[in-house]
Structure 1
Amino acid sequence: MFGDFFSRALIAGVGLAAVTGPLGCFVVWRRMAYFGDTMAHSALLGVALSILLSVNMTLGVFAVAAMVAGALLLLQRQNTLSTDALLGILSHSSLAVGLVIVGFLTQVRIDLMGFLFGDILAVSVEDIAVIYGGGVAILAILWLNWRPLLAATVSPELAEAEGLKPEVSRIILMLLMASVIAIAMKLVGVLLITSLLIIPAATARRLSATPEMMAGVAAVLGAVSVVGGLFGSRTWDTASGPSIVVMALAIFLVSLAVPTARLFGRRA
């Protein structure tokens, strides 16, 4: 029989995968992997500020991630640096500032490795409630905005011509990513969140013929990665978060032997 902590980890991980799968599809389609890393790195700054200001950590991480996304949008409009350069600056700066603030918090004992790599086995019933409550809200917003998000992904110019406001869709997507990072941080850590967003979605892209199918397959593959990674971690006594990502990688490698489907009218 499984312990309560292992059952809670399975429930929480599957719930998180149901959200990261569909959202990760847009990360893959829009080639936003580096942006995902930037948002994830900003999570540590959110943790540090939450402790310093004594505010709820999930809300603190979301607020900082959202501010970093807003800063990127403002800097992009200045047209002084390329997007990848701006992402590099924001990513490493937010991570470094977060580490410096943590260094000053000598009166508080902080499990830095836990924040970096997560500890899904320590998830509580309250954490599960946050994951499923936040996950339902994120998926609902994603579903309501699916058409404008998809149209802006395929062709921003065409979406704008149809009155779908691609810039608004982009802001919504960034806020959804900030939300996922805030609720996922405790499970897989700031350094592994992007992997859970990208790898199942990248695998699903090879196996799907439509965007909707890809979103569903990505969610299922993410759940399989969580379950397989946790059982592997339990069997071989390895770290749970990295084990989940390794399982996702193994599924991706196996998928390379499968002929790709067609997505958006071209090879996926």
Structure 2
Amino acid sequence: MENQNQENSPNEEITTESQQHTINTNVSQEELENEIKRSEESIKVTEVTTTEGLKPTDTREYINKNGICRHRDNCAISTLKTIIRGFAIGYGLRAGIALLTGLILRKLYRNPRKLINQSILHKDPIGFGLFLGFYTGGFKGINCLLRAIRGKEDGLNSIVAGFIAGSAMMFSKSTEMALYLFARALESLFNAAVKRGYLKSYKHGDSVLFCLCTTILFHGFVWEPTAVRPSYMKFISKVAGKNRDIGAITSVIRDMYYQQQKK
């Protein structure tokens, strides 16, 4: 009997330990569930207090309303930061270049007032800063506004926002920049068409495009010189050489052609 009791005692100890372990696990699970419930309740309370504390005119009420905008700040503050950053970059670049050229090349350090008026306070740096600021910030702000109104993000938002933001060119009109963006837009359209399978990419397509553009430009240079930009005419004349008057040569070619046509 004593041996049986001794044999049963270890089994009883094991069962008691397992029961205690199950009790402890149950207690720990209950504690975890209680903590989760408390945290959820605290989150709900904070959400209620923050939404109730906001006024209708407060911009924080519209922070990522539909969960589409991915910037950290609200839409108004993010747009304002983009406008300020763009203006600082554009104005700083133009004003800095104008200031350096005035000091080094034009030697306007002898007349500081003229130097400031033609660099820091000139309309070109200010206009370029406004253009870059409202071009980037306007696109972001209008895009965020369309997301909030339409409740979705698709290509239409970017098209409308880009079209309206392009009106910032009025602050700093530049034909070169407009032509550059036009070329980049055509390139983007071509790449999109290739990606969707509407067109096929060609290995030497850039060379063919350059040949076509050169054909049009040189035809205008010879036969319609008034249609070519004066800056490009000067560039071609410099490439040809100082001792060669390209304009006189092309005029001779035109005169010979017209005389032959009269005969």
| TM-score when normalising by structure 1 | 0.26
Higher relative contact order (CA closer than 8 Å, sequence separation 6+): 1
